[in-house]
Every structure is written in C-alpha cells, then in structure tokens.
Structure 1
Amino acid sequence: MRKPIVGISYKTYINSIQKACMLARRLVDLTGKEKAVEQVIFPSIGTLYPVSQILHNSRIALGAQNISPEKNGPFTGELSIESVIEMGGKFVEIGHAERKAIFHETLEMINKKTRLTLDLGLLPFLCIGEEEKQNNAGSLYKILQSQILSSLKNIENGLVHRIVFAYEPVWAIGKSAAAEPEYVHSAHEIIRQIIKNLYGSEASDRVRIIYGGSVSKDNVLAIVKNENVDGVFIGRFGHEPDNYKEMVDTVKKIKAVENR
C-alpha cells in the first residue's frame, strides 16, 4: 500500500518572509495533523528557514526546490543540501522543467542531484515529462524511459522506491487547465511499467507517482481517481490555503477508498 502524497511549490511567487510564514501557519492549522496523506511544502529559498520553524511540530514536511550538485564547495549562489538537512528538510525537488529550460540543467546534473539526495538520506521529488503532447503511447514510453534512465544512472535498484516521481508534462505547466485525466492515467501506467521493466516489480509496486501541471480543486478528483496516481504536485491553484486543504481532502477520500 502506497501512502498518498501532496506537494505544493511556491516557486518564487511568495518571497516575503511574513507572507510565507502566514501561509505555513494556516496550512499547519488546516492540515498539519493529517496522517492519511503525506504533505510537503517547497517554499522559495529565502523563506526556507523561517517556514521550517513553523512546520517543525506538524506533520507537513519541508522540501527544497533545488540544491547544488555537490554537498559543499565553490558553488557560489547555490543551496547546499547540508543546509536543507540542518533545517529539517525531507524532500528535494529535482529536474523541474523550468530548471531545464531557464537554467539549462542537464540530465547529467539531475542525476548528480538525485544521487546526492539519496546518499544523504533525503527523498527526491523527481520531475519528468514530455515537451509536447504525445498521441502515441509508444513514443511517450520512449521519452519517459530515456529521462528515467538518465536521471537514475548508477542508482541502486533498492533505492528507487524512495523517489517520488512527479509527472509534469511540460505542455501543461502554467496553463489554465491540466492534462486530460485519461492522458494522465495512461502516462502514469507507462511510468510504472517502465519502473517495473528497469528495476523490478518491488520497486514498481512501492514507488509513488504523482501528477503536477495546473492541478486545481476542480480537476484533482478526476486526476487522482486512478490506481497509478498516488497524489498531486500543486502550484498556483493551491496558494489559497482553503483550496489546498480541499485538494488534500480529495486525495485522502479517493485513496482511502482505493486502499480498503
């Protein structure tokens, strides 16, 4: 049985420490005691520490949106995973489409960050997804398999289940609507099959695969209503805490029924 998981990233939309802390306190009040759904907040880098202090005694985990590919050294301006650990962080977001498009992050870099995260005991939130919508399942399989193979190079099979795969089709990020539920379900089935083929049935059965890309309270029900979708990665449509809570409640309701 895979525990459902909901993540929310504030990217650099919320950079005021006061506002970030206000939002974190509100989420702690609303969902901070929730046990059935694992939750993780990815604040902007400048608000990581104060938000970590608010989350400390709740059941909501702290995540970093990015890390340096090395734990320390001459990497000016980067966030060290050592700092994330000291702040009580549990997750690291790796390979988001914006990191690749804007900052030219390569699959080799993504692999280094994934290995470092696992080596130091944290959990990667590994983003994967195709640039353009694929109408052929075979083509989508090849694209996702290539990304997974490169991102997980030299990672032991026994560690794969610790990775949360955030399926985020690039063409759906930041849009008014998410990818169609049927498309999402098919993609998640493909990802789980890839994991099974590459790393075995145990890894495939245990690994969590979630959807990100314009998730909202209006579409989350249709998205998660599938055995291969273990949760969602929320963006701007979750900035209002009550909307976030509604999405967490929906994931909890659907996954509780599936796990009976």
Structure 2
Amino acid sequence: MRKPIIAGNWKMYKTRDEAIEFMYQVSEALPSNKLVDSVICAQAPMMRCLIKRQGDNLRIGAQNLCAEDEGAYTGEISGKLLDSYNVEYVIIGHSERRNYFGETDEIVNAKIKAALRNDLLPIVCIGEHLEERENGTTNKVLEKQIKGAFKDMSAVQMENMVIAYEPIWAIGTGKTATAEQAEESCAFVRSVVRELFGDVIADGIRIQYGGSVKPANIDEIIAKENIDGALIGGASLDPEKFIYMVKAAVKK
C-alpha cells in the first residue's frame, strides 16, 4: 500500500514571518507521518527557519536545485547545501522551470542525479500543454518526459522517487483535469514506469496529481487508484486548506 504524499509548492510567495505563522497554525493539526507524508516546498532563504519548526508530521522541501554540487554558479542552490540543512524533498522539472528557464529533459535528468547524490527525495514534474492534450499527444509527451527524466536510472534509485503529473494547462489557471482525466494519465505514467523498471517499482512509486487542486476537488481526485497524492500550488498557502487536503489523503 502506497502512503499518500501531499506537497505544497509555495512558489514565490510568503515572507519569513508569514511562513512561520503558517507553521504555527498547522503544526498540531496535521495527521501523523505514519499515515501521510506532508511537505511544504518554500523559497530557499526561508527553509532553515521552517525546518527548525517542522515537527514530525511535516517536512520541508526545496523548489529547485543545481545539477552541480558546487562551483561558480551565481544564484544557484546546491543539493549539497540543501542536504546540510536537512531539507528532505526537492521539486525538479516543474513546468514553470521548463517554460521560464528553459529546462529540458536532459537538465531534469542531471538535477535528479544531483538530488540522489545528496540524499534528497525528488518530486519530478511532468505534464502536457493544452494543445498537446487537444491534439491527442498527451501520452507521447508524458512518455518522452519520463524516459528523459529517468534516463540511466536504476530500479534502486527509483524506489523513493515521486512523480507529479501536472497538466500545464491546469496550473494556476483555475482549470482542473477531471478526476477521470487525471486517473487516466497517472495510470499511463505508471504503465511507462512498469515498462522501464518492472512491477515492483511501478506498484510502489507514488504519483501525485497537480493543477489547481483545492478542497473542492481533492476528495474526488485522491480517491482514484493511481493517484497517491497531490502537488498543490495556491491552495497550499492557506493553513486551513492545506490541513483539509492532507486529511483528505488519509481517507484514501
């Protein structure tokens, strides 16, 4: 049985004081990490103050990392540094990184390897554009992204991977894939993983859905067989909404 994982991606929101207030509001209300993994991925400068307040039922993640462990890469953040702060998770390949900063499948692959070198748990994002959904090439796009992201990976390296299926047309737009569409795509993702790494990895890997997830639709989405959690954007900024969605995952 796969343990659900709910991850909030705060993107470039919240000040340090706002983030700390959030932690105070959710710290006693979240379910045990024996039932669900709860994660908040925040801007790099505030991660240390959040880690000091995370408790056993919430973990802090990064939103990005460099493919190199150190060097003359002004403005980048290394996996080596994240590990030294006891950061546990890192989002890799988010569509905003791909679209705004030109990240390719090759870069995503290099960043996953950097995360693994530094004992970080990758949340690897994949997803299609609206025109790809409409012209029927969603599966082709997802398969290419999966094979590119996990090139040269072993089954052992895949054991603790999390995949987040996020249709790009549903991120920050208010549009959401139906629960049936989300399940269909997540099932396809699992089938590609099965083809590449076998039954044990495919049956064990956790696949999240992301894309305008909120309290109004989390229950229907999380109930689907191949959806093991959610990567949540705007709704994760609100403590009450985040708590609700984490608790919804426990019902699965």
Fold agreement, TM-score > 0.5: yes
Whole-angstrom CA distance in 1 between matches of 2:32 and 2:158: 28
Task: Give the match for residue 250 of structure 2.
Answer: 252
Shift of residue 182 of structure 1? 0.8
SS of equivalent residue, structure 2 residue 250: helix
Task: Give the match for residue 167 of structure 1.
Answer: 165
Whole-angstrom CA distance in 1 between matches of 2:77 and 2:116: 16
Q: Provide the TM-score with structure 1 as the length reference.
A: 0.92
Shift of residue 159 of structure 1? 1.6
Whole-angstrom CA distance in 1 between matches of 2:230 and 2:146: 19
Task: Give, as a single letter, the amino acid of the residue that structure 2 aligns with 1:49.
Answer: R
Shift of residue 155 of structure 1? 1.1
Mapping for residues 91-240 of structure 1, pairs under 5 Å: 91-132=89-130, 134=133, 139-240=137-238
Contact 2:39 2:59 in 1 (8 A): yes
Whole-angstrom CA distance in 1 between matches of 2:221 and 2:32: 24
Shift of residue 227 of structure 1? 1.1
Contact 1:9 1:234 in 2 (8 A): yes
Task: Give the match for residue 9 of structure 1.
Answer: 9
Whole-angstrom CA distance in 1 between matches of 2:16 and 2:149: 33
Q: Provide the TM-score with structure 2 as the length reference.
A: 0.95
Taking only aligned residues, the RMSD between alpha carbons, in angstroms, comes to 1.4
Among all aligned residue pairs of Structure 1 and Structure 2, give the percentage whose two residues are the same amino acid.
33
Relative distance call for 1:34 and 1:199 in structure 2 (3 A) is closer
Where do 5+ consecutive residues of structure 1 fail to align? Answer: 256-260
Task: Give, as a single letter, the amino acid of the residue that structure 2 aligns with 1:245.
Answer: I
Task: Give, as a single letter, the amino acid of the residue that structure 1 aligns with 2:16.
Answer: I
Shift of residue 186 of structure 1? 0.3
Task: Give the match for residue 47 of structure 1.
Answer: 46
Whole-angstrom CA distance in 1 between matches of 2:66 and 2:110: 9
Task: Give, as a single letter, the amino acid of the residue that structure 1 aligns with 2:20.
Answer: C
Whole-angstrom CA distance in 1 between matches of 2:97 and 2:85: 23
Deviation track 1:1-41 (CA, whole Å, cap 9, x = no partner) reads 11111000110011x11111111222212216453011111
Larger mean Cα displacement after TM superposition, 76-85 or 21-30: 21-30
Larger mean Cα displacement after TM superposition, 91-100 or 117-126: 117-126
Task: Give, as a single letter, the amino acid of the residue that structure 2 aligns with 1:17.
Answer: R
Deviation track 1:203-229 (CA, whole Å, cap 9, x = no partner) reads 100100000110000000111111100
How many residue pairs get matched? 251
Whole-angstrom CA distance in 2 between matches of 1:197 and 1:34: 31
Contact 2:31 2:247 in 1 (8 A): no
Contact 1:129 1:168 in 2 (8 A): yes
Task: Give the match for residue 18 of structure 1.
Answer: 17
User: Is residue 37 from structure 1 mapped to residue 3 from structure 2 by the alignment?
Assistant: no
Whole-angstrom CA distance in 1 between matches of 2:33 and 2:103: 35
Deviation track 1:146-173 (CA, whole Å, cap 9, x = no partner) reads 0011111111122213110000000000
Contact 2:169 2:175 in 1 (8 A): no
User: Is residue 27 from structure 1 mapped to residue 26 from structure 2 by the alignment?
Assistant: yes
Task: Give, as a single letter, the amino acid of the residue that structure 2 aligns with 1:176.
Answer: G
SS of equivalent residue, structure 1 residue 218: helix
Higher relative contact order (CA 8 A, sep 6+): 2
Where do 5+ consecutive residues of structure 2 fail to align? Answer: none
